[in-house]
Structure 1
Amino acid sequence: MTAGPGEPKKRYLQYLEVVTGSLEEKKRWRRYKARIKELPEDYRTAVEALERYLMHFGPGDGAVSMHEDLADLFEQSAADGTPIREVVGQDPVEFVEAFLANYPEGQWIRRERERLTSAIDRVTGNEP
């Protein structure tokens, strides 16, 4: 069996993605960060604060899509001149939790809550 042109490179990239994650996702993340960098300073600071929060509580899978949606929201708000308080409301935590609720897949906290409930159900004989 002979390897075609580019075959070793393809295998290398496959191995690299196993170790580091999707290269396409990394490219999308860099594009997202570039978009955020272009926002006016106040909007950029707000997005970076939300991003920090989302890094702790957001999904592991699908995180780039979620952040791209956040960038869309703040780019549009900046373009329209919508004040940041009108975007996030009086309680930024309430806003980010509502935003995060749209991305339930991949949330580690959701998986841990399910695991906890399942374990307690098993030991108490209340399995569904």
Structure 2
Amino acid sequence: MGIHDILEGKKHWRAHVARIKALPPDYRIVYQEMQKYLFKVGPVDLVDGRLFAGILDFFEEGAAAGTGVLDLIGPDVAAFTDGLIKDSPTYADLYQQSLAKKAKEAADRPTRP
């Protein structure tokens, strides 16, 4: 990754943040809570940025239509967010898989008398 890529990434992130700030307050609060949750849960494909851009597009359309954010996604923000990533592997999943693999390798290793 070169300096040009880093600068382009920063430029895109700043534009993304500006779009978030332009959302109505209720949308902005829900978006930021979803973002915090997703950063914590850590879907592996989060780094490509498409998920956040898609959520933001969806929220902008809902706000433009005059729909309340909870009318758009439902009353359970966590369930909605989980639904977005239900088929995506998370870093926690990868960690669990590596632990299971190490346990299997340890169990398969012959013991010394």
Q: Which has the higher contact order (CA 8 A, sep 6+)?
A: 2
Match of 1:27, as an amino acid? K
1:98 paired residue number? 83
2:98 paired residue number? 115
TM-score (norm 2): 0.76
Correspondent of 1:124 among 102, 107, 113 = 107
Q: What is the percent sequence identity of the aligned residues?
A: 29
1:30 aligns with 2:14: yes
- Taking the aligned partners of 1:124 and 1:76, their CA distance within structure 2 comes to 54
Correspondent of 1:52 among 36, 40, 47 = 36
Which ranges of 4 or more aligned residues in structure 1 deviate by more than 6 Å? none
How far the C-alpha of 1:62 sits from its partner, in A, is: 3.9
Measured at CA, do residues 109 and 53 of structure 1 come closer, stay the same or move farther in structure 2, by a change above 3 Å? same
Unaligned 5+ runs, structure 2 = 109-113
- Taking the aligned partners of 1:22 and 1:110, their CA distance within structure 2 comes to 29
- Taking the aligned partners of 1:87 and 1:114, their CA distance within structure 2 comes to 35
Measured at CA, do residues 62 and 55 of structure 1 come closer, stay the same or move farther in structure 2, by a change above 3 Å? closer
Unaligned 5+ runs, structure 1 = 1-12
Match of 2:95, as an amino acid? E
1:21-65 CA-to-partner distances (Å, cap 9, x unmatched) read 843332222111111111111111111111111111133654322
**Paired residues of 1:58 and 1:100 also in contact (CA < 8 A):** no
Paired residues, number: 107
CA RMSD of aligned residues (A): 2.4
TM-score (norm 1): 0.68
1:42 paired residue number? 26
- Taking the aligned partners of 1:42 and 1:123, their CA distance within structure 2 comes to 51
Match of 2:96, as an amino acid? R
Correspondent of 2:50 among 50, 59, 65 = 65
- Helix, strand or coil at the partner of 2:23: coil
